[in-house]
């Protein structure tokens, strides 16, 4: 556990400096300014004291035990410093110094050196090239970091691979007057990792929400294990960083891990982490998560004392998938008694600008009592002619029972309405400056409800497959140094996993090709099958829609002529037409497993990029979701009186492909493109496997 890192009783600093504009000075200043409860040991071979604290020439001279030792000296001196820390029995070092793995081979060697020494002595290493940690717990007040925000205690913990993003997030909570629990930004993360920190916070009762910024995952499987475990206990909110190609390139440029894009997104969704495209939205959602219960559904009750912001909020809520249902007759009856004559007494309830505490209280009570309302959105502008403090008091009173989440767009000048602001704040009501911003926070709460209550489904285990055969084919190809499998290998593997394809035969002569065609039935397609012929169409190695033996013979003879000198077989396959074109594929991601893809083929994938992804192993629920989530899904299910395709068949193929790539992970890429989908069957008519 990381107790000695986040709850240090003594902090040392190798490289403590008397120079004010230096990291070695700023960290000491931060520890003091944050009122750190433990002992500080500046280490400096020359200075007798730093910022009035006695300094020691070496970590080995320090009289007491040391839980955390910062190292802020030049890179080449770091390995020896870690060794010294080991000898001293320091539990953790935070290496703020940069210039290691992120700078190339030489730096990496240095990093490996101190990692080894750390291991030898059992010293845990945080960093290098990092900011450090903060713990606002009043018992510790540990500020082992050179950044500049001094947060008050709270329930949000932040872990960020990038110190810059971590600082932005922490500062935003500070600006919003929202407390923070712990903070960690561990840069190169050579030892103590982000998943390890998340797991630690999973067991920290005071951490109610974890905010995560990660650009790349060194060990995606470990990350997933931890994410499953912790996300089951408390919300984890994360940025989708590097989701554009350019952004991902920027992210990978200084990391070796799995960066950005599709895979990270899928990992988040699969493990129950709520992902955001915008850091501000994520922060503002975190504020709501830290104090509000999760709504049980999508139905919002809106209360407003001004018209326009209700329109803006409605747009944003509806676009976010929420509903603003009408209220019951019972509710209307109550409101008719309590509201002003000019009020609007359905949903939204417009209490009007002159509404005071009784009107607001009645409106919010009604929303709490309505069965068909899951959450409450309030627009509260502070009119100078209304006793706003009383209004705030009523809202805070209702909020404290936490029956349903309350989100407030609070439109005011805070310095003028200081007391009102304080009452709302202490009542734990998340307040936002814009109707859309408040609405987005509520959308996030609701999306989280959906994410958490989503049935995971089951991974089907098909026992009718022949794993040994598939493995043998792949092993054989690997031994022969083949990258792209031959058609016969591909279709044999599909057959071994009972993945339906157009019937086929593999033969070695023109005569046998004709015989094969006769037995398969016309029309057929024939291909010159050899791992050496990659771009078959260009090479003249494909002839489609051959309708009789003459056409087959002619095509086969021509192929032999064109490809003379190359050794190949004839792959003869039933030529199918009609049906709707589908694509199913799988692709290996380093250290993670496979992404499985589903889409509509032809112009749909080309023009609309109409595809969906999941991480293998794909459950039955996920396979169905993959199909339902493409834009053209209604076409597959049947529109305009047309019958749909054999959805169950598509689900099963996705499950079987998922099992195949999980059983035989050497498969790097697999494409069934296209499959033809009919009402009663789906068959692959072209397939490709790369190992």
Residues 243-262 that bind its own copies (CB under 8 A): 243-247, 250-251, 253-254, 260
Residues 42-61 binding its own copies (CB under 8 A) are none
**How many Cα atoms are found within 13 Å in the side-chain-facing hemisphere of 397?**
13
319 touches its own copies (CB under 8 A): yes
- What gap in Å lies between CA 93 and CA 101, rounded to an integer? 17
Return the number of other C-beta atoms located less than 10 Å from residue 66's C-beta. 24
Q: What binding mask, one character per residue, do residues 620-649 give for its own copies by CB under 8 A, x or -? A: -----------xx-xx---xx---------
Q: Give every CB contact of residue 450 below 8 A, 6+ residues apart in sequence.
A: none
Three-state secondary structure call for residue 308:
helix
Question: What is the C-alpha separation between 243 and 259, in angstroms, rounded?
Answer: 9
Scanning 96-104, 110-118, 480-488, 675-683 for contacts with its own copies by CB under 8 A, the matching segment is 96-104
Cβ 421 to its own copies, closest distance in Å?
Answer: 13
Among 139, 329, 371, 385, binds its own copies (CB under 8 A): 385
Return the residues of window 497-556 that contact its own copies according to CB under 8 A: none
Residues recorded for the chain: 691
User: Which one of 19-27, 35-43, 200-208, 645-653 is the stretch in contact with its own copies (CB under 8 A)?
Assistant: 19-27
Task: Find the binding residues for its own copies in span 406-445 (CB under 8 A).
Answer: 409, 411-413, 416, 433-437
Residue 374 makes CB contacts below 8 A (sequence gap 6+) with 295, 296, 297, 298, 299, 300, 404, 446
- Taking CB under 8 A as the criterion, the residue among 342, 475, 509, 519 binding its own copies is 342
Residue 238 CB, nearest approach to its own copies (Å): 13
- Our CB check for its own copies shows the closer of 206 and 433 to be 433
Cα–Cα distance measured from residue 64 to residue 45, given in angstroms and rounded to the nearest whole number:
18
Question: H or E element: which one contains 159?
Answer: strand 156-160
324 contributes a contact to its own copies by CB under 8 A? yes
Ramachandran angles phi, psi of 472, nearest 5°: -60, -45
- Of 44, 136, 162, 492, the residue at the interface with its own copies (CB under 8 A) is 162
Instruction: Give the burial class of 174: count Cβ atoms within 10 A of its Cβ; 0-12 exposed, 13-18 middle, 19 or more buried.
Output: middle
Interaction residues for its own copies, span 98-137 (CB under 8 A): 98-99, 103
Contacting range for its own copies; rule: CB under 8 A; set: 46-54, 385-393, 492-500, 644-652: 385-393
| Under 8 Å between Cβ of 79 and 123 | no
Q: Do β-strands 669-677 and 209-213 pair in parallel, antiparallel, or remain unpaired?
A: unpaired
Binding pattern for the stretch 299-318 against its own copies, x by CB under 8 A and - elsewhere: -----xxxxxxxxx-xxx-x
Binding mask 202-231 for its own copies (x = CB under 8 A): -----------x-x----------------
Residue from 92, 111, 157, 172 touching its own copies (CB under 8 A): that is: 172
The 10 Å Cβ neighbour count of residue 485 is 23
Binding mask 584-623 for its own copies (x = CB under 8 A): ------------------xx--xxx---------------
| Closest to its own copies by CB, 98 or 484 | 98
Asked if 239 touches its own copies (CB under 8 A), the answer is: yes
With the CA atoms of 638, 640, 641 and 643 taken in that order, what torsion angle do they form, in degrees rounded to the nearest 10? -20
Neighbours of 138 (CB within 10 A): 9
- Which tokens go with 196? 């390890």
The verdict on 147 binding its own copies (CB under 8 A) reads yes
Tokens for 76, please give them: 């080449």
Shortest distance, CB of residue 206 to its own copies, whole angstroms? 24
Q: How far apart are CA 116 and CA 125, in angstroms?
A: 11
Note whether 195 and 239 are within 8 A (CB): no
Q: Which of 357, 358, 362 is nearest to 345 (CA)?
A: 362
Say whether residue 280 binds its own copies (CB under 8 A).
Answer: yes
Binding residue count for its own copies, defined by CB under 8 A: 93
The minimum distance between CB 254 and its own copies, in angstroms, equals 7
């Amino acid at each position: 556990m990381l107790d000695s890192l986040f709850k240090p009783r003594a902090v040392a600093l190798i490289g403590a400096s008397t120079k004010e504009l230096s990291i070695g000075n700023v960290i000491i200043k931060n520890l003091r300014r944050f009122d750190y409860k433990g002992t500080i040991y500046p280490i400096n071979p020359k200075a007798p004291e730093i910022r009035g604290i006695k300094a020691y020439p070496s970590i080995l001279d320090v009289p007491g035990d040391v839980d955390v030792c910062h190292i802020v000296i030049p890179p080449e001196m770091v390995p020896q410093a870690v060794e010294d820390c080991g000898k001293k029995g320091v539990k953790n070092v935070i290496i703020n110094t940069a210039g290691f793995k992120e700078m190339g081979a030489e730096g990496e060697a240095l990093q490996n050196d101190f990692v080894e020494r750390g291991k030898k002595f059992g010293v845990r290493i945080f960093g290098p090239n990092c900011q450090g940690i903060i713990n606002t717990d009043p018992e510790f007040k540990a500020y082992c970091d050179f950044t500049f925000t001094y947060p008050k205690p709270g329930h949000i913990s932040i872990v960020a691979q990038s110190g810059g993003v971590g600082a932005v997030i922490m500062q935003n909570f500070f600006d919003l007057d929202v407390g923070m629990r712990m903070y960690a930004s561990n840069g190169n993360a050579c030892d103590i990792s982000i998943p390890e920190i998340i797991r630690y916070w999973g067991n920290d009762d005071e951490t109610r929400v974890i905010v995560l910024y990660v650009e790349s995952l060194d060990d995606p499987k470990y990350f997933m294990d931890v994410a499953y475990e912790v996300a089951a206990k408390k919300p984890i909110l994360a940025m989708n960083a590097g989701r554009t190609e350019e952004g991902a390139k920027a992210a990978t440029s200084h990391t070796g891990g799995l960066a950005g894009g599709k895979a990270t997104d899928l990992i988040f969704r699969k493990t129950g982490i709520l992902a955001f495209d915008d850091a501000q939205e994520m922060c503002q959602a975190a504020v709501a998560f830290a104090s509000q219960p999760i709504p049980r559904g999508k139905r919002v009750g809106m209360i407003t004392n001004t018209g326009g912001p209700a329109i803006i909020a409605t747009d944003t809520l509806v676009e976010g998938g929420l509903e603003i249902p009408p209220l019951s007759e019972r509710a209307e009856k109550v409101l008719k008694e309590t509201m002003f004559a000019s009020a609007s007494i359905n949903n939204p309830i417009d209490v009007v600008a002159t509404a005071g505490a009784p009107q607001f209280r009645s409106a919010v009570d009604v929303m709490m009592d309505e069965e068909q309302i899951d959450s409450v959105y309030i627009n509260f502008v502070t009119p100078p002619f209304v006793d706003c403090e009383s209004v705030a008091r009523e809202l805070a009173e209702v909020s404290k029972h936490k029956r349903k989440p309350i989100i407030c767009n609070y439109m005011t000048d805070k310095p003028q309405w200081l007391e009102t602001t304080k009452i709302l704040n202490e009542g734990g009501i998340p307040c936002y400056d814009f109707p859309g911003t408040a609405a987005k926070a509520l959308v996030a709460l609701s999306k989280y409800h959906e994410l958490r209550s989503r049935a995971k489904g089951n991974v089907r285990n098909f026992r009718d497959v022949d794993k040994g055969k598939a493995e043998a084919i792949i092993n054989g190809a690997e031994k022969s140094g083949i990258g792209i499998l031959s058609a016969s290998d591909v279709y044999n593997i599909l057959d071994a996993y009972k993945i339906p394809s157009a019937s086929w035969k593999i033969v070695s002569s023109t005569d046998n090709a004709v015989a094969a065609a006769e037995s398969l039935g016309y029309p057929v397609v024939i291909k010159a099958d050899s791992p050496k012929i990659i771009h078959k169409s260009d090479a003249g190695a494909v002839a489609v829609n051959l309708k009789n033996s003459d056409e087959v013979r002619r095509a086969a003879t021509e192929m032999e002529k064109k490809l003379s000198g190359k050794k190949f077989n004839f792959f003869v396959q039933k030529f199918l037409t009609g049906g709707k074109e589908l694509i199913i594929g799988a692709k290996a991601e380093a250290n993670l497993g496979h992404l499985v893809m589903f889409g509509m083929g032809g112009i749909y994938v080309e023009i609309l990029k109409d595809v969906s992804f999941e991480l293998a192993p794909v459950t039955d629920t996920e396979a169905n979701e993959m199909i339902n989530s493409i834009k053209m899904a209604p076409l597959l299910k049947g529109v305009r009186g047309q019958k749909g395709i054999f959805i169950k068949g598509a689900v099963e193929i996705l499950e079987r492909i998922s099992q195949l790539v999980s059983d035989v992970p050497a498969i790097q890429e697999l494409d069934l493109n296209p499959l033809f989908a009919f009402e009663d069957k789906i068959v692959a008519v072209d397939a490709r496997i790369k190992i």
